[in-house]
């Protein structure tokens, strides 16, 4: 499992658009911090009835820019499959955000990433 977590962390560093969370994960890798890697990558936050709910931070277990990007990509794919691309575009989506912030991770950026992903589809 340790090797799998390490590989996930390495991939994260390649994909993460946020310099702060990317550096935090790189530090876990460089320090060979198995407990930190397990905390950050040992699970994946799931989308439930209340949406995505987790503390803000780096890794698949927490909410952050990359998790938002990946989740919205999946949501767009789902809507296109269920409603069709034309109907999804016709209906549109509403995007909001609140005041939550932790370092460079914040809800406003989550909303901007959400809009960017939706517009790119």
With 80 as the cut, is the pLDDT of residue 26 above it?
A: yes
Residue carrying the six token digits 């876990």: 28
Instruction: Check if the beta carbon of residue 111 is closer than 8 Å to that of residue 95.
Output: yes
pLDDT given for residue 2 in this prediction: 84
Q: What mean pLDDT do residues 28-36 have?
A: 95
- As a dihedral over the C-alpha atoms of residue 97, residue 98, residue 102, residue 105, rounded to 10 degrees, the angle is 10
pLDDT given for residue 88 in this prediction: 95
Mean pLDDT, all residues of the chain: 94
Residue carrying the six token digits 């994946």: 44
CA distance 86 to 9: 37
pLDDT-based confidence at residue 1 (cuts at 50, 70, 90) = low
pLDDT digits over 55-113, tens only?
999 999 999 999 999 999 999 999 999 999 999 999 999 999 999 999 999 999 999 99
| Residue 118: both structure tokens together | 């939706």
Pick from 36, 79, 50: nearest CA to 12: 36
């Amino acid at each position: 499992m340790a090797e799998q977590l390490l590989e996930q962390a390495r991939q994260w560093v390649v994909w993460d658009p946020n310099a702060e969370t990317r550096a935090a994960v790189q530090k876990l890798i460089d320090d060979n911090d198995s407990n930190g890697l397990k905390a950050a990558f040992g699970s994946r936050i799931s989308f439930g009835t209340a949406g995505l709910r987790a503390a803000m931070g780096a890794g698949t277990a927490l909410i952050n820019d990359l998790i938002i990007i990946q989740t919205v990509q999946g949501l767009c794919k789902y809507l296109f499959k269920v409603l069709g691309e034309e109907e999804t575009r016709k209906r549109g989506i509403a995007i909001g955000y609140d005041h939550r912030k932790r370092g460079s991770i914040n809800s406003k950026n989550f909303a901007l990433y959400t809009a960017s992903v939706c517009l790119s589809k």
